[in-house]
Structure 1
Amino acid sequence: MIRPATAEDLDAIAALHRAARATYYRDRLPEDAYDGPSELARSRAAWATAVAEGRVLCAVRDGEIAGVAAHGVRDGVAHLGQLHVAPAHWRRGVGTELHRACVDAWRAGGVTTVRLDVYEHNTRAQAFYAAHGWEVDPDVPRASTHLVLRLTLAPSEEWDAARPR
């Protein structure tokens, strides 16, 4: 089930985010950069803001949060800020369901183009996004250690016929 996040979900969201990030940053960045006290506090505050603004969706499995996605508008452009699945739920359709829910929300809001940043060494995420139609943004292909990807949303009829199920 996909549902909007609530303030009561914040601990679970922060823990899931922490676990997911560790899988692709470990051995590539200093631990304090992704798992230090100041970074965890900053991350939790950002999630709290996004939840309060209604920009976070949760995937729930067996009563627990198995995945989370944050989306919104940054600098006038629709953006997928975060999409994380608990490692125990990888390859079970959780990410695809969250992605579909975000796409449906964007389409309902009239969005035609979305961007995201993905860590250059996170090849699992890059493959996921490529399978869902994301491409390297030709206008801004990189932002520091991240690739910038762009998704162009098809008209409703085309999306319904082609979307992953």
Structure 2
Amino acid sequence: MIRLATAADLDAVVALHTEARATYYRGHLPDADFLGPEEIARSRAGWAAAVDRGAVLCAVRDGEIAGIAAYGEREGLMHLTQLHVLPARWRAGIGAELHAACVEKWRAAGVTTVRLDVFDKNERAQAFYTAQGWTPDPQTPRHGDHLVLRLTLAAETE
């Protein structure tokens, strides 16, 4: 089941985000950059704001939040800012289901182009996004140590 996150989900959302990020940042960045108390507090504040905006989707499996996705508009363009699945639940279709739910929301809102940044060492995520139709952003292919990807949504026909 995919549903909007609520304030009651915040602890589970932050824990899932922290665990998922550790899988791809560990060994590439200092642990404090993704596990330190300041970073977790910053992350919590960001997730709380996104939940308040109604811009966080949760995938619930067996009564627990197994995946999360967040999106929002920046500089006139929609951005997929987060999409994470509990590592213990990888390869079960949760990420694809969350992605499809985001695409549905974007289409309903008339969005035609979406961007995202993906850590350049996170080849698993890059392969996932490529399989979902994302391509390198032609105007800004990199942002620091992240690749910038773009998804163009075809208009739905009736």
Which TM-score bucket, shorter chain as reference?
over 0.9
Q: What do residues 85-140 of structure 1 show as CA deviations (whole Å, max 9, x unaligned)?
A: 00011000000000000000000000000000000000000000000000000110
Q: Letter of the aligned partner of 1:49 in structure 2?
A: A
SS in 2 for 1:27: coil
Instruction: Indicate the percent of aligned positions where both proteins have the same amino acid.
Output: 67
| Alignment TM-score, normalising by the size of structure 2 | 0.98
Q: Distance in 1 between matches of 2:72 and 2:102?
A: 10
What does residue range 77-88 of structure 1 map to in structure 2 within 5 Å?
Answer: 77-88=77-88
Superposition deviation, residue 32 in structure 1: 0.5
TM-score by length of 1: 0.94
Looking at structure 2, the residues matched to 151 and 30 of structure 1 have their Cα atoms a distance apart, in angstroms, of 31
- The residue aligned with 1:131 is 131
Provide the C-alpha distance between the structure 2 equivalents of 1:108 and 1:8, rounded to a whole number of angstroms: 26
What amino acid is aligned across from residue 47 of structure 1 in structure 2? W
Deviations 1:52-99 (Å, cap 9, x if unpaired)? 110000000000000000011011110000000000110000000000
Which amino acid is the alignment partner of residue 57 of structure 2? L
Is 1:64 aligned with 2:64?
Answer: yes
CA RMSD of aligned residues (A): 0.9
> Counterparts of 1:24 and 1:109 in 2: how far apart (Å)?
32
**Cα deviations across residues 5-53 of structure 1 (Å, max 9, x unaligned)?**
0000000000000000000000100011111010000000000000011
Q: What SS does structure 1 have at the residue aligned with 2:11?
A: helix
1:35 aligns with 2:35: yes
Deviation at 1:156, TM superposition (A): 1.1
Question: 1:162 is matched with which residue?
Answer: none
Q: Shift in Å at residue 153 of structure 1?
A: 0.4
1:101 maps to amino acid: A
Partner secondary structure for residue 38 of structure 1: helix
Take 1:89 and 1:114, find their aligned partners in 2: how far apart are those partners?
26
Partner of 1:163: none
2:125 match: secondary structure: helix
For residues 93 and 80 of structure 1, the distance between their equivalents in structure 2, rounded to whole angstroms, comes to 18
Amino acid in structure 2 at the alignment position of 1:15: A
Matched residue type, 2:30: P
Runs of 5+ unmatched residues, structure 1:
159-165
Shift of 1:157: 3.7
Letter in 2 for 1:147: L
Q: Residue 2 of structure 2 aligns with which residue?
A: 2
Aligned equivalents of 2:113, 2:151: Cα separation in 1 = 6
